Amino acid sequence: MTRLRSLTLLDIDYPSTVLDGCIFSLDTLTCGFPFSKPLSKFLQSQHNLKEAHFLTPFDFPRSLDFEPTCLPNLSRITVPFTWLPHIVPGRPVSEIASIGYRAGNPVDFSIYALSTVPIQKIATSDYYLIQNSEPLLASIFPLLTHLLVDQRIYVRFLFIYFI
């Protein structure tokens, strides 16, 4: 499978070690794995990956982190909100869909500004994230062209992605 460019693995019952030894170079990855050392090791080898969708209910583990050189071409992501500080900084991410935001927690919009390119599309699963904050959004995201606020974003993503 050396020519494989797109991979979808949504069953989180399989460990991410299923990716050990894979030699393909992906453009797109969709998976339900929690972030782990085996997944991090696999991602370190994916220099061409432009689009990643981590559809997991798990928060980003405090004991692990992404290497700054990992995924240098990543431009489009779907991740749990807690993953954003680990994936956005230093990468050319212009399209972000965040899932699993917990209302009541403080929102730090500066995470989005750590992308190496302006954010153009945002989708979020919790309207509390942007309630009454239009002026703030306009100042932080001057090139924003698409904004989707929908509590069912995970379901919408699956529907749109697989149809």
Phi, psi of 160 (to 5 degrees): -70, -40
- What architecture (CATH level 2) is domain 6-162? Alpha-Beta Horseshoe (3.80)
CB-based contact 109:136 (threshold 8 Å)? yes
CB-based contact 116:91 (threshold 8 Å)? yes
Residues 68-89 as b/e (b if ≥16 CB within 10 A, e otherwise) read eebbeebbbbbbbbbbbebbbb
Instruction: Give how far Cα 156 sits from Cα of 8, 17, 78, Å.
Output: 17, 28, 12
- In the chain, what are the domain boundaries? 6-162
CB-based contact 8:31 (threshold 8 Å)? yes
User: In this predicted model, what pLDDT tens digit does every residue of 48-99 receive, in sequence order?
Assistant: 999 999 988 778 887 777 777 899 999 999 998 888 889 999 999 999 988 8
Please state, in angstroms and rounded to a whole number, the distance separating the CA atoms of residues 117 and 77.
Answer: 14
Least confident stretch, 21-30, 51-60, 63-72, 143-152: 143-152
Least confident stretch, 14-18, 125-129, 149-153, 154-158: 154-158
Q: Which one has a higher pLDDT value, 77 or 33?
A: 77
Question: Which of the four pLDDT bands, split at 50, 70 and 90, describes residue 130?
Answer: low
pTM: 0.81
Q: Which one has a higher pLDDT value, 143 or 149?
A: 143
Q: Which one has a higher pLDDT value, 149 or 133?
A: 149
